[in-house]
Amino acid sequence: MDSKESMESREAKDSIKSQVEGLLGSRPRQARHLLAVLQDIQAAFRYLPKEALLMVSEKLEVSAARVFAVAGFYKALSFSPKAERLLTVCQGTACHLRGSEKLIQTLESRLGFKIGQSSTDGRLGLETVNCLGACALAPVATVDGAVHGHLTPEKALDLI
């Protein structure tokens, strides 16, 4: 009954499990380390695989519902793989007033996908944030954490 595909997905699951086992080993197995463990997993996989969350629930003795609720609360954690490079446009008040909406429209139409989505090859993702604390540079965007200020739609396209 084992098709090649399900064998592969089983292998993928096993490899996730052993990796998570390793990550869990680096922290005390206590419920209060839940968030830190989730961050470790997010960093390793760029998302939180379901098998990983179930393992965390079991090993830290935190209910699956609680693990899922915590995982779903933070923007830095995600249930589907985040892109390799992340372009984040600030949508805070200052950036909004200085035309962040225009930047977003331009980026979306050039890239062919919307805020919150990624390119089909998973290389680039588009997100927004509510104020980066760099309002003097508005409108602002970051690429993998590096800040780019005083953007125009043209300059924003250069960030791609």
Partner 1 sequence: MDHTLPKVTGTIDGHEFEVCHGTTLLEAAKTLGIKIPTLCHHPGLPPDGNCRLCLVETGDKLLASCAFPIRASGGVYLTHSPLVFEARAFVLKLLLSRAPNNKELLKLAEEYGAQADPRLSDDPDGCLRCARCVRACQAAGSQAIALIGRGRGRKVAGPFFEPPLDCVGCLACARSCPTGLIACGEEPRVIWGRQFDLVKCPQCGRTVGTPEELKRAGITSWLCPDCRRREYSQALKNLPEASFVRN
Residues in contact with partner 1 by CB under 8 A are 50, 53, 57, 63-69, 72-73
118 or 142: whose CB is closer to ligand FES?
Answer: 142
Q: In the stretch 27-66, what mask flags binding to ligand FES with x, by CB under 6 A?
A: ----------------------------------------
Question: How far, CA to CA in Å, does 143 sit from each of 58, 84, 139, 160?
Answer: 36, 11, 14, 9
| DSSP state letters, 102-136 | HHHHHHHHHHTS-TT-B-TTSSEEEEEES--S-GG
8 or 58: whose CB is closer to partner 1?
Answer: 58
- Rule CB under 6 A: is residue 26 a binding residue for ligand FES? no
- Rule CB under 6 A: is residue 143 a binding residue for ligand FES? no
38 binds, among ligand FES, partner 1, none (CB under 5 to 8 A by kind): none
Smallest distance from the beta carbon of 55 to partner 1, in angstroms? Answer: 13
Alpha helices in the chain (DSSP H): 4-25, 34-45, 50-60, 64-73, 93-97, 100-111, 153-158
Question: CB–CB of 103/140 below 8 Å?
Answer: no
Smallest distance from the beta carbon of 58 to partner 1, in angstroms? Answer: 11
Phi and psi at 52, nearest 5°, equal: -65, -45
Angle between helix axes 34-45 and 64-73 (nearest 10 degrees) is: 60
Task: Pick the binder of ligand FES from 24, 90, 107, 156 (CB under 6 A).
Answer: 90
131 binds, among partner 1, ligand FES, none (CB under 5 to 8 A by kind): ligand FES
138 binds, among partner 1, ligand FES, none (CB under 5 to 8 A by kind): ligand FES
Question: CB–CB of 52/21 below 8 Å?
Answer: no
Smallest distance from the beta carbon of 96 to ligand FES, in angstroms? Answer: 7
